[in-house]
């Protein structure tokens, strides 16, 4: 079983965020790039970065908020060490993804768009991972796992949590 590396994002600070996006100063069209860079660094876009971005790009805060909320890839909350996406599309549904989803939510103790209490896993939906022949599928960060069962999910998440604990 191939395991992805746990995310190791830096703690957000406005000072560090300003340094991260400084390279985009004077480039009015680079807001999206700056948001990506912030998310890569901290794992999400902290609310406190909004006024700084507005000032840097000479935009209103509402405009920065608008862009951040329009693109669903941008997170507004700190994610877990791993992001798990459970496929909800047709082929996976036909192979039991609904029951698998229920079992996953019960096992993790969280719903979609939430993070486990220990900060380890964030749960998201996805619609087709292009691996329909091996349904039902999940994706952990950028790694796809096919023919997932409740049992294999528990084994996988235990292994990931152990890996993350060892990597602290
Ligand atoms: S429907 Fe789930 S991978 Fe295609």
Across the range 24-35, mean pLDDT stands at 92
Q: Which of 88, 132, 134, 147 to mutate to test the pocket of ligand 1 (most atoms within 8 A of CB)?
A: 132
Binding site membership of 129 for ligand 1 (Cβ less than 6 Å)? yes
Polymer length in residues for the chain: 168
Determine if residue 60 is left, alpha or beta; phi over 0 gives left, psi from -120 to 50 gives alpha, anything else beta: beta
Q: Confirm or reject: Cβ of 89 under 6 Å from ligand 1.
A: yes
Q: What is the pLDDT of residue 1?
A: 78
Looking at residue 10, the DSSP 8-state letter turns out to be P
Lowest mean pLDDT among 68-77, 102-111, 130-139: 68-77
Write out pLDDT tens, residues 33-79: 999 999 999 999 999 999 999 999 999 999 999 999 998 889 998 99
Q: Name the pLDDT band for 167 (thresholds 50, 70, 90).
A: low
The token duo for 93 is 């549904």
Chain-wide mean pLDDT for the chain? 94
Q: What share of the chain is helix, strand, coil (3-state, %, to 5)?
A: 50, 10, 40
The answer to whether 105 and 111 are in contact (CB under 8 A) is yes
Q: What is the pTM of this model?
A: 0.82
Question: What's the rounded Cα separation, in Å, for the pair 42 and 68?
Answer: 15
- List pLDDT tens digits, range 139-160: 999 999 999 999 999 999 999 9
The answer to whether the CB of 87 is under 6 A from ligand 1 is yes
Radius of gyration of the chain (CA): 18
CA atoms of 80 and 27, how far apart (whole Å): 32
């Amino acid at each position: 079983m191939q395991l992805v590396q746990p995310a190791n994002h830096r703690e957000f600070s406005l000072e560090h965020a300003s340094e991260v996006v400084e390279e985009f100063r004077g480039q009015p069209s680079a807001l999206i790039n700056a948001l990506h860079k912030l998310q890569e660094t901290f794992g999400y876009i902290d609310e406190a970065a909004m006024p700084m971005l507005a000032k840097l790009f000479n935009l209103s805060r509402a405009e920065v908020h608008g862009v951040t909320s329009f693109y669903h890839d941008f997170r507004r909350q700190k994610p877990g060490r791993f992001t798990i996406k459970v496929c909800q599309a047709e082929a996976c549904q036909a192979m039991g993804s609904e029951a698998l989803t229920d079992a996953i939510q019960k096992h993790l103790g969280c719903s979609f768009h939430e993070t486990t209490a220990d900060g380890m896993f964030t749960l998201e939906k996805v619609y087709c991972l292009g691996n329909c022949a091996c349904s039902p599928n999940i994706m952990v960060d950028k790694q796809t796992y096919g023919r997932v069962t409740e049992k294999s999910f528990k084994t996988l998440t235990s292994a990931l949590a152990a890996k993350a604990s060892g990597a602290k």
